[in-house]
Amino acid sequence: MLDMKWIRDHEAALQTVADQKGMEVSIAELVKQDEHKRRLLQEVEQLRQERNQRSQEINRLLRAGKQAEAEEEKEKVRHLGGRLAELETRLGDAEQACHALLLRVPNIVSPDTPVGRSDEDNVELRKAGVPVKPDFELRDHVALGELHDMIDIPRGVKTAGSRHYYLKGAGVLLHRAVQQLALDLLLRRGYVPLEVPTIVRTEAMTNTGFFPLGQDQTYRIGSEDRWLVGTSEVPLISYYSNEIIDVTEPVKLAAVSSCFRSEVGSAGKDVHGLYRVHQFAKVEQVILCEASLERSEQLLQEITANAEELLQLLELPYRVMAVCTGDMSQKTYKQYDIETWMPSRGSYGETHSSSNVLDFQARRSGIRYRDAEGKLRYCYTLNNTAVASPRILIPLLENHQEEDGAIRIPAALRPYMNGLERLVPNAEQPVDKQLL
C-alpha cells in the first residue's frame, strides 16, 4: 500500500507503473474517490463540531433556567443528528470504496527495473556453472524418479488429483536434505528460524500484498475466513503486524513450511512432472529493515547471494535474471529470479525469487520503527526463496545423473544423506530414520 498523499502527487507516474505491471486500476478514479471522501469527512467534522457546540449551549441554557430556549436548541441538535447520521453513512461507503481501490494500486518500481510485458522480457544479469551436455541420452526427473522408486506421480493423482505426487525413500531424503542444507546456511547468516502457521486469516493475506489480486491462486478452507498460504512470507511478515520493532540491525527471519497454490490459469503450462504442483515445501528468508533505499538494496543483494550459494553447494548451473515490470507482482519494487538449468527442458527454469518490497507490506501490516530522531516510520521488507522442493529436485536429479541412471550426490548434501555419494538404481539405500 502506498501513502495516499504520495499517490495524489504522482498520479500520472503511478498510472504508468500500473499499466506496465498489467494492473487494471484507475489512479484517477482513486484520486477522485479520495477527494470525495475528504469532502465528506470535512462536512462530518463540521457537523460534529456544531453539534458539540449546541450541546454545550443547551447545558448553559438549562443552568440558566431557560427551558424553552433549551428545547429549541435540542430540536436543532436532533435535526443535526439526522443529517450527521446520513453523512456518516455516506462517508463510510466512500471510505470503503476508496480503500478497495487503494488495495489494487501497485507498488512503484526501481529505476533499474527492465520495462517489459512478460518473463520473456526479463534481463539476464549473470550465469554460473556450465549446463550439462553429456554424450549419453539423458533421462528426465520423472524417469529417474521411477527408476529409483523415489517419485510416484500416478498414485499422487489417484489420491489427490492432478499435480499431486508422492515422494518415497531417497526422494524424501533429498527433499528433506536440501531444505535442511538451506536452513543451516541461513542459520550461519544469523537468521532466526520460526515454525509458522500455514493457515492464515484474510487480513494476513491482504496485509502482505497477496490479496485481493491473488485470491484465485489460494486455497480457502470452506466458508471460513482462513486460507492455506502459498509462502511462509505471509506468516513471517505478519509476525510483527501492528507492532513497533527495533531495526537498529535488520530483523532476519527464516521458515521451513509446506505451501499450497491452486495454479488457476496455468492449465497446459509446465504440467510435466514436479515443476508446477499444488503442494510443495519452501525455505523462506524474510528481512525487515529501516526505510533506506541504500540499505534495502544491499540486503536484496545479500538474500540473492544466499540463494546463489545454495545452488553452488548443490553444484547446479544457474543464471540470475532482472525481472521486468510485466512479470512483477503488485507488491514488488525490485525483483531478481534465479533460474536453474534443467536438462529435460533444454533451458533454465525458475527456482528462486528475491524481492525488495519497500514499505508496501509494512504500511498495510502496521509494522513501524523509530528512526534516529524518534519519529515513527514504516519498515522496509524483503523476501527470498532460499529453496523450494520438489522443484529443486528436477535440476538436482537431471544434472547429476550418470549414464547407467545412477545419481551423484553433491558433497554438501552427503552429510544429510547418511554419507551416500551416489544413488544406484535398484540398490538398497541406507535410510536414516532421523531424517524420516
Helix axes 170-188, 293-313, angle to 10 degrees: 140
Q: How far is CA 193 from CA 232, 245, 249, 412, in A?
A: 12, 18, 17, 21
The four Cα atoms 357, 358, 359, 362 give a dihedral, to 10 degrees, of 40
What is the secondary structure of 3-42 as a DSSP string?
-HHHHHHTHHHHHHHHHHHT----HHHHHHHHHHHHHHHH
> Degrees (nearest 5) of the Cα angle 192, 194, 199?
150
CB under 8 Å, gap of 24 or more: what pairs does 419-423 form? 423/148, 423/150, 423/170
Residue 308's DSSP bridge partners are none
Which residues are part of the catalytic machinery? 261, 276, 350, 353, 391
Q: Residues with Cβ < 8 Å from 186, sequence gap 6 or more?
A: 193, 252, 254, 283, 285, 306, 386
Question: What's the gap between Cα 289 and its chain centre?
Answer: 17
Asked if 277 and 165 touch (Cβ cutoff 8 Å), the reply is yes
Measured distance CA(351)–CA(334) in Å, rounded: 17
